[in-house]
Amino acid sequence: MAPDSHKKRKADRNSSSISSVDKIFMKYRRCESSTVWWGVFGTICLLTAATRFYKVSEPEHVVWDETHFGKFGSWYINRTFFFDVHPPLGKMLIGAFGYLTGYDGMFPFVKPGDSYEGVNYLGMRVCCTAMGACLVPFAFIIVWEMTFSLPAATLASSLILFDIGLLTLNQYILLDPILLFFIMGSVVGMVKFHAQKK
Protein backbone atom coordinates (compact mmCIF):
# COMPACT_ATOMS: atom_id res chain seq x y z
CA MET A 1 0.00 0.00 0.00
CA ALA A 2 2.75 2.42 0.92
CA PRO A 3 4.68 2.07 -2.39
CA ASP A 4 1.48 2.70 -4.37
CA SER A 5 0.63 5.82 -2.40
CA HIS A 6 4.23 7.00 -2.79
CA LYS A 7 4.02 6.48 -6.56
CA LYS A 8 0.69 8.32 -6.65
CA ARG A 9 2.10 11.28 -4.69
CA LYS A 10 5.18 11.33 -6.96
CA ALA A 11 3.00 11.25 -10.11
CA ASP A 12 0.81 14.05 -8.71
CA ARG A 13 3.91 16.11 -7.89
CA ASN A 14 5.32 15.53 -11.40
CA SER A 15 2.06 16.49 -13.11
CA SER A 16 1.69 19.59 -10.94
CA SER A 17 5.29 20.63 -11.67
CA ILE A 18 4.76 20.13 -15.42
CA SER A 19 1.58 22.14 -15.37
CA SER A 20 3.26 24.91 -13.36
CA VAL A 21 6.08 25.06 -15.93
CA ASP A 22 3.46 25.25 -18.70
CA LYS A 23 1.72 28.05 -16.80
CA ILE A 24 4.96 30.00 -16.48
CA PHE A 25 5.64 29.64 -20.22
CA MET A 26 2.09 30.61 -21.11
CA LYS A 27 2.28 33.64 -18.81
CA TYR A 28 5.59 34.66 -20.42
CA ARG A 29 4.08 34.17 -23.86
CA ARG A 30 1.15 36.41 -23.01
CA CYS A 31 3.57 39.05 -21.70
CA GLU A 32 5.37 39.23 -25.04
CA SER A 33 4.15 42.31 -26.82
CA SER A 34 2.36 41.37 -30.01
CA THR A 35 3.92 44.40 -31.68
CA VAL A 36 7.43 43.33 -30.70
CA TRP A 37 6.80 39.74 -31.84
CA TRP A 38 5.45 40.81 -35.23
CA GLY A 39 8.23 43.38 -35.57
CA VAL A 40 10.93 40.77 -35.04
CA PHE A 41 9.17 38.20 -37.24
CA GLY A 42 8.62 40.79 -39.99
CA THR A 43 12.27 41.87 -39.86
CA ILE A 44 13.40 38.25 -40.15
CA CYS A 45 11.10 37.76 -43.17
CA LEU A 46 12.33 40.94 -44.87
CA LEU A 47 15.97 39.97 -44.35
CA THR A 48 15.18 36.52 -45.72
CA ALA A 49 13.63 37.97 -48.87
CA ALA A 50 16.51 40.44 -49.29
CA THR A 51 19.21 37.77 -48.98
CA ARG A 52 17.50 34.95 -50.87
CA PHE A 53 16.22 36.86 -53.91
CA TYR A 54 19.22 39.18 -54.34
CA LYS A 55 20.70 38.50 -57.81
CA VAL A 56 18.77 35.24 -58.12
CA SER A 57 19.11 35.51 -61.91
CA GLU A 58 22.91 35.32 -61.69
CA PRO A 59 24.83 33.59 -63.09
CA GLU A 60 22.93 33.45 -66.35
CA HIS A 61 24.16 29.97 -67.14
CA VAL A 62 23.55 26.43 -65.92
CA VAL A 63 25.03 25.85 -62.47
CA TRP A 64 26.04 22.46 -61.07
CA ASP A 65 23.04 20.08 -60.71
CA GLU A 66 20.69 22.39 -62.58
CA THR A 67 21.78 20.22 -65.53
CA HIS A 68 19.84 17.32 -64.00
CA PHE A 69 16.82 18.93 -62.35
CA GLY A 70 16.21 21.53 -65.05
CA LYS A 71 16.34 18.70 -67.60
CA PHE A 72 13.86 16.62 -65.57
CA GLY A 73 11.55 19.64 -65.37
CA SER A 74 11.80 20.02 -69.15
CA TRP A 75 10.94 16.37 -69.63
CA TYR A 76 7.83 16.73 -67.48
CA ILE A 77 6.75 19.81 -69.45
CA ASN A 78 7.25 17.90 -72.73
CA ARG A 79 5.65 14.70 -71.35
CA THR A 80 8.79 12.70 -72.07
CA PHE A 81 9.11 9.38 -70.23
CA PHE A 82 12.27 8.95 -68.15
CA PHE A 83 13.52 6.88 -65.23
CA ASP A 84 15.30 8.33 -62.22
CA VAL A 85 16.20 7.22 -58.70
CA HIS A 86 14.57 10.17 -56.91
CA PRO A 87 10.88 10.35 -55.97
CA PRO A 88 9.06 12.45 -58.59
CA LEU A 89 7.38 15.24 -56.57
CA GLY A 90 10.33 17.66 -56.49
CA LYS A 91 10.97 17.37 -60.22
CA MET A 92 7.27 17.62 -60.97
CA LEU A 93 7.19 20.87 -58.96
CA ILE A 94 10.19 22.20 -60.88
CA GLY A 95 8.40 21.34 -64.13
CA ALA A 96 5.23 23.02 -62.85
CA PHE A 97 7.19 26.15 -61.85
CA GLY A 98 8.67 26.32 -65.35
CA TYR A 99 5.35 25.69 -67.08
CA LEU A 100 3.49 28.29 -64.99
CA THR A 101 6.15 30.94 -65.61
CA GLY A 102 6.32 30.47 -69.38
CA TYR A 103 9.28 28.11 -69.83
CA ASP A 104 8.69 25.94 -72.91
CA GLY A 105 10.85 22.96 -71.88
CA MET A 106 13.11 23.17 -74.95
CA PHE A 107 16.43 24.08 -73.29
CA PRO A 108 18.67 20.94 -73.27
CA PHE A 109 20.51 21.47 -69.92
CA VAL A 110 23.52 19.59 -71.31
CA LYS A 111 26.31 20.72 -68.97
CA PRO A 112 27.17 23.34 -66.33
CA GLY A 113 28.20 26.60 -67.97
CA ASP A 114 25.69 26.47 -70.83
CA SER A 115 24.24 29.96 -71.31
CA TYR A 116 20.58 30.62 -70.54
CA GLU A 117 20.47 33.33 -73.23
CA GLY A 118 16.89 33.64 -74.50
CA VAL A 119 15.60 31.00 -72.05
CA ASN A 120 12.89 31.73 -69.49
CA TYR A 121 14.66 29.92 -66.63
CA LEU A 122 14.08 32.53 -63.93
CA GLY A 123 10.66 31.26 -62.85
CA MET A 124 12.09 27.89 -61.85
CA ARG A 125 14.89 29.53 -59.86
CA VAL A 126 12.55 31.99 -58.15
CA CYS A 127 10.07 29.29 -57.14
CA CYS A 128 12.82 27.07 -55.72
CA THR A 129 14.22 30.11 -53.92
CA ALA A 130 10.78 30.97 -52.50
CA MET A 131 10.43 27.47 -51.05
CA GLY A 132 13.93 27.70 -49.58
CA ALA A 133 13.18 31.14 -48.15
CA CYS A 134 10.33 29.64 -46.11
CA LEU A 135 12.88 27.75 -43.99
CA VAL A 136 13.76 30.87 -42.00
CA PRO A 137 10.23 31.78 -40.82
CA PHE A 138 9.55 28.06 -40.30
CA ALA A 139 12.54 27.88 -37.92
CA PHE A 140 11.27 30.94 -36.06
CA ILE A 141 7.77 29.46 -35.64
CA ILE A 142 9.06 26.03 -34.60
CA VAL A 143 11.33 27.37 -31.87
CA TRP A 144 8.71 29.88 -30.72
CA GLU A 145 6.07 27.16 -30.35
CA MET A 146 8.50 24.90 -28.48
CA THR A 147 10.08 27.46 -26.13
CA PHE A 148 7.86 30.57 -26.14
CA SER A 149 11.14 32.49 -26.18
CA LEU A 150 11.51 35.36 -28.62
CA PRO A 151 15.33 35.46 -28.29
CA ALA A 152 15.56 31.69 -28.92
CA ALA A 153 13.27 31.90 -31.96
CA THR A 154 15.23 34.86 -33.31
CA LEU A 155 18.56 33.07 -32.82
CA ALA A 156 17.34 29.86 -34.49
CA SER A 157 15.96 31.67 -37.52
CA SER A 158 19.07 33.87 -37.75
CA LEU A 159 21.33 30.81 -37.87
CA ILE A 160 19.44 29.60 -40.94
CA LEU A 161 19.11 33.10 -42.39
CA PHE A 162 22.87 33.70 -42.42
CA ASP A 163 23.95 30.17 -43.39
CA ILE A 164 25.85 30.68 -46.65
CA GLY A 165 25.45 27.03 -47.69
CA LEU A 166 21.65 27.19 -47.48
CA LEU A 167 21.62 30.61 -49.10
CA THR A 168 23.56 29.23 -52.08
CA LEU A 169 21.51 26.03 -52.41
CA ASN A 170 18.26 28.00 -52.30
CA GLN A 171 19.10 30.14 -55.34
CA TYR A 172 19.29 27.42 -57.96
CA ILE A 173 17.04 24.88 -59.67
CA LEU A 174 17.69 22.06 -57.20
CA LEU A 175 15.70 19.58 -55.12
CA ASP A 176 17.30 20.68 -51.83
CA PRO A 177 15.09 23.73 -51.11
CA ILE A 178 11.97 21.73 -52.01
CA LEU A 179 12.98 18.83 -49.76
CA LEU A 180 13.87 21.12 -46.84
CA PHE A 181 10.62 23.04 -47.29
CA PHE A 182 8.54 19.90 -46.84
CA ILE A 183 10.66 18.60 -43.93
CA MET A 184 10.43 21.85 -41.98
CA GLY A 185 6.80 22.34 -42.99
CA SER A 186 6.05 18.95 -41.43
CA VAL A 187 7.75 20.00 -38.20
CA VAL A 188 5.76 23.26 -38.17
CA GLY A 189 2.58 21.22 -38.57
CA MET A 190 3.62 18.92 -35.73
CA VAL A 191 4.39 21.71 -33.25
CA LYS A 192 1.21 23.59 -34.18
CA PHE A 193 -0.83 20.41 -33.70
CA HIS A 194 0.84 19.80 -30.34
CA ALA A 195 0.12 23.40 -29.29
CA GLN A 196 -3.57 22.96 -30.19
CA LYS A 197 -3.82 19.88 -27.96
CA LYS A 198 -2.79 22.01 -24.96
User: What pTM, to 2 d.p., does this model score?
Assistant: 0.79
- pLDDT value at 24 more than 70: no
Per-residue pLDDT of 90-132, as tens digits, reads 999 999 999 999 988 888 888 998 898 888 889 999 999 999 9
DSSP state of 118: T
- pLDDT value at 9 more than 50: no
**Domain range list for the chain:** 1-31, 32-197
pLDDT at 20: 60
**Short-list 162, 174, 147, CA closest to 70:** 174
Lowest mean pLDDT segment, chosen from 9-13, 62-66, 110-114, 184-188: 9-13
